[in-house]
Amino acid sequence: MRRFRFGLTARIVAVLVVLGVAVFPLYWMLVTALSSNGDLFAEQPRLTPDLGRFGVFVEALAEGKAAGWLLNSLVIAVGTMVLSVGLGIPLGYALSRFSFRGKAVLTVVLLFTQMLPEALMVVPLFALFRRFDLLDSLTGLVLVNSAFVLPIVALILKGAIDGIPRELEEAARADGGRPFTVLTRINVPLIAPSIAATAVIAFFHAWNEYVFAVTFIFDPELQPASVGIANFIGELGTPIQTVMAVAFLFTLPAVAFYLLAQKYVVSGMTAGAVKG
């Protein structure tokens, strides 16, 4: 009994330590945003937020372009998530269920794309975007982010579909179900956890992306928050409280989205790893 209590206590302490390490950066951003200049440069740092200074968040949203940046980030992230998952489901299904020439090569190519750094593709993509008039366009960022995240989405969903017995699809076809109906009525509900996991991956990839956004977007009104926050850094001074306030607001939607979908992430990733 004593050993059981000790083990339970140790697990609780470990969970609290991990939770503290994960939450502390977000908490420190809040403390910094709500601190005065005197507190920031004092010998003893302030460890608790000054709740009377919440006006810094209102000022950051009202005076600057922070609200527009956050909205742009949301549009890009949601667009990338919808497009990559929407294309990844049929692609993963084709890789899992159909046999065609070059299937193994295509799978290896999809895996190889994850080894390419984004910076390596900036120059050719810039020329391509200029030719098709996709510079200074949120649509262009959605397309390029979807192209980079689609392979991993398709491979995860392929693994999840591999774990579904083929007999279920054969029974549906025997009842007159067409391939698209089988996919949407049989496979999609069964791989819902994996779809949720890939949606989280796609959302976070686009939400945090910086290289393409800073290269392909010139209009400050169209910049996402990941680029806009860097604009606060000036040559003569940087409004630290404003930067931390916007960074805190930039972090919250991503954290909230993950908390809503986190129960599907582990099960979805595990389901996608059952078979290769």
What percent of the chain has a predicted confidence (pLDDT) above 70?
91
Parts of the chain belonging to CATH 1.10.3720.10: 63-271
pLDDT digits (tens, 9 = 90+) for 48-102: 887 777 777 887 777 668 888 899 999 999 999 999 999 999 999 988 888 888 8
Q: What is the DSSP letter of 245?
A: H
Which pLDDT belongs to residue 242?
82
| Pairwise CA distance, residues 111 & 105, whole Å | 10
The superfamily (CATH) of domain 63-271 is: MetI-like (1.10.3720.10)
Which pLDDT belongs to residue 127?
92
pLDDT digits (tens, 9 = 90+) for 114-161: 788 888 889 999 999 999 999 999 999 999 999 999 999 999 999 888
Mean pLDDT for the chain overall: 84
Amino acid at 272: G
Residue 274 pLDDT greater than 50, yes or no: no
Q: How many CB atoms lie within 10 A of CB 270?
A: 15
pLDDT digits (tens, 9 = 90+) for 221-236: 899 998 988 877 765 5
Q: How many CB atoms lie within 10 A of CB 80?
A: 28
| Pairwise CA distance, residues 62 & 55, whole Å | 10
Residue written as token pair 């909230």: 256
| Pairwise CA distance, residues 78 & 100, whole Å | 33
Contacts of residue 229, defined as CB under 8 A and 6 or more positions apart, other chains included, come to 69, 243, 246, 247, 250
The alpha carbon of residue 193 and the mean position of all alpha carbons in its chain are separated, in whole angstroms, by 16
pLDDT digits (tens, 9 = 90+) for 148-164: 999 999 999 998 888 88
